[in-house]
Structure 1
Amino acid sequence: MADTGNRPRSPFLRALAVDDSLPIEPEAVRLWLNDIETPTRWSLRPLLQFLLAMLLHLIWFVKRLPLPQFRAHGLLQRLICAFCTHFVSPHANRLILRHFATESNVLNFLIDNSEELGVEPLTLYPRRIDDMLDASFVKHDQELFRVIEELGPWRPPAAPLSTHAISWRHWRPLEGAVGEAPCKRTQVLDFESAHALFMCLFCLLLTREEYRDAINGFNLDQSIAIRIGQLIGDPSLAEMAYNKHPHYLVGPWNLSQRFLMHGFFTEYLYARLERLRCRG
């Protein structure tokens, strides 16, 4: 079992490192445990989340006023990529890149195994931080909404698909899909501290409707889990979704946890489907 520096991991973290009761890839666990042990997560993060949560709600309030709306997608993406390159830890950056790929795979699985023809598959698989200038976070959200809309009303299959009937046409295994990058001395921020900073930028540089849709899009996790569970005959997938009930729109309260649990959900679902693919 690897240690962080000269300090051994606690018994709970050692247990977490080997517990695969929920489907999750060892690489994702390794990256997450490294992120948990980043010093800023236990020192800087609580203060950042407290202060920036107040700032977020202030921006949210101002954006909801009947004022002219503006957006700056390009500036938003350049700021995020620059911040990730210079200040966010390499393992946190890899978790961010993995999230693009896991969600793209999950949605492509739905597209490939749907009766609805002509839905364009997702191509958002950035390997490096600079790739996110094109495969942006805004596009990531909009592609989710596009796929759900174009798939139309859900028609559950009469019976789960057999192993040989499942299509993996647009599935891209993550092995080697995320590139390594050299670490700078300034790259010390953990995943959650970085997100605390990003969420205010998103609220400021998106229109109020774009931001409202983005933070409520997490609740489609339950819908996706139900659909894929019916396709492969595993209703337990719906229990993996922390974010639920997409018809109930929410504000930015508890956003950090909801975002993090959305990330776990896509990792769980990706790992479950990848195991199924490998067995087939």
Structure 2
Amino acid sequence: MSNKQSAYLKAIKADDSIPIEKEALLLWHKDIENGFRWILRPIAQFVFAILLHIIWFFKRLPLPQFSAHIFLQKTICWFCKHFVSIEANQLILRHFATESNILNFLAENTGHDHRVNLYPKTIAEMLDNSFVDHDQELFESFAKLGKIPTDTQVAPPYKWDSWQAINMSDFLIERKATQVIDFETAHALFMCLFCLLLKRDEYRDAINGFNLDQSIAIRIGRIINDNSLTEYAYNKYPHYLVGPWNLGQRFLMHGFFTEHMYAKLEALRKEQMTD
């Protein structure tokens, strides 16, 4: 890719209409300027999308199910350590923290005890704070929340006891010359492995969990009296189960959603602390 930025890239770098932290935007802008993204990603997404649907088809057949969570996590972490760019790894680590904070805020301010403690700071820590646990914690949180009350607006001050503000200096990643693969290409490579090494219902649940973004926005919007939050949710209608079609975009938009929600709530927290 040319070192000269296009007019569009300059425009989105200047646009701060959507609440998202500057640190996250800088990581994303650098990631999309990765030359490998424009060469390798289209090929990887095309090839692995076909392979994903083939694996999905066979996993849906009435055959004995198997999973290999530990092998899955070790493979992903090894690949991240050696081949995924620093920026993409930092975005992945941020995602654990943003979603954990959002779910904990929701639980704390609706009187529920369940807390999510997935805040890895290194690639190695993702072995324990795994992607599988990340999905299961989301489902567990909603199971504990239950039905949404008619009137859930909470009067400030809000509770932040479980909130962990993100500090980029806490993310420790050893830089290697081979770390050249961007965020979206890495996901294209991972999605087939997830489908293969999770049981069919585990994988189906994981790719449908994105649609809870709308439910999260509705619930938090009612707490802080801000109905505009649902505008940030690209993935919607969790009762309509989907397959792996368009998975890359839905996954990416889920990441943007959590960053938007985190930035909104973090600004609210800082405002409350200064009052």
TM-score bracket for this pair, using the shorter chain length = over 0.9
Aligned counterpart, 1:170: 162
| Equivalent position to 1:41, from 25, 37, 42 | 37
- The answer on 1:157 being equivalent to 2:151 is yes
Instruction: Give the TM-score normalised by structure 1.
Output: 0.94
Cα distance between partner residues in 2 of 1:28 and 1:144: 22
Aligned counterpart, 2:91: 95
**How far 1:179 sits from its partner (Å)?**
1.4
**How far 1:28 sits from its partner (Å)?**
0.4
* Amino acid corresponding to residue 15 of structure 2 in structure 1: D
Cα distance between partner residues in 2 of 1:186 and 1:73: 26
Aligned counterpart, 1:197: 189
**Contact 1:109–1:168 under 8 Å retained in 2:** yes
Cα distance between partner residues in 1 of 2:170 and 2:118: 12
**Contact 1:92–1:191 under 8 Å retained in 2:** yes
> How far does the alpha carbon of each residue in 1:67-95 deviate from its partner, in whole angstroms, 9 at most, with x for none?
00000000000000000000000000000
Aligned counterpart, 1:219: 211
* Amino acid corresponding to residue 279 of structure 1 in structure 2: E
Cα distance between partner residues in 2 of 1:107 and 1:263: 14
**How far 1:169 sits from its partner (Å)?**
1.0
**How far 1:59 sits from its partner (Å)?**
0.3
Aligned counterpart, 1:70: 66
**How far 1:177 sits from its partner (Å)?**
6.5
Aligned counterpart, 1:16: 12
Aligned counterpart, 1:185: 177
Cα distance between partner residues in 1 of 2:143 and 2:114: 12
Aligned counterpart, 1:128: 122
Large movers: runs of 4+ above 6 Å: none
**Contact 1:126–1:178 under 8 Å retained in 2:** no
SS state at 1:163 partner: coil
* Amino acid corresponding to residue 163 of structure 1 in structure 2: P
Cα distance between partner residues in 2 of 1:110 and 1:252: 28
- The answer on 1:254 being equivalent to 2:250 is no
- The answer on 1:146 being equivalent to 2:137 is no
**How far 1:214 sits from its partner (Å)?**
0.2
Cα distance between partner residues in 2 of 1:97 and 1:125: 8
**Contact 2:82–2:179 under 8 Å retained in 1:** yes
Cα distance between partner residues in 2 of 1:215 and 1:55: 16
| Equivalent position to 1:54, from 44, 47, 50 | 50
* Amino acid corresponding to residue 168 of structure 1 in structure 2: W
**In 2 relative to 1, CA 51–176 (structure 1 residues): closer, same or farther, beyond 3 Å?**
closer
**How far 1:146 sits from its partner (Å)?**
0.2
**Contact 1:49–1:193 under 8 Å retained in 2:** yes
SS state at 1:34 partner: helix
Cα distance between partner residues in 2 of 1:83 and 1:113: 38
- The answer on 1:269 being equivalent to 2:273 is no
- Over the aligned positions, Cα root-mean-square deviation in angstroms equals 1.3
**How far 1:11 sits from its partner (Å)?**
2.3
Q: Count residues with an aligned counterpart.
A: 272
Cα distance between partner residues in 2 of 1:182 and 1:67: 42
Cα distance between partner residues in 2 of 1:56 and 1:178: 35
**How far 1:156 sits from its partner (Å)?**
4.1
**In 2 relative to 1, CA 226–183 (structure 1 residues): closer, same or farther, beyond 3 Å?**
same
Cα distance between partner residues in 1 of 2:86 and 2:187: 14
**In 2 relative to 1, CA 238–177 (structure 1 residues): closer, same or farther, beyond 3 Å?**
farther
**In 2 relative to 1, CA 279–38 (structure 1 residues): closer, same or farther, beyond 3 Å?**
same
Cα distance between partner residues in 2 of 1:239 and 1:194: 27
- The answer on 1:245 being equivalent to 2:241 is no
**How far 1:180 sits from its partner (Å)?**
3.2
Unmatched tracts of structure 1, length 5 or more: none
Instruction: Give the TM-score normalised by structure 2.
Output: 0.96
Cα distance between partner residues in 1 of 2:193 and 2:87: 22
Cα distance between partner residues in 1 of 2:188 and 2:148: 35
SS state at 1:173 partner: coil
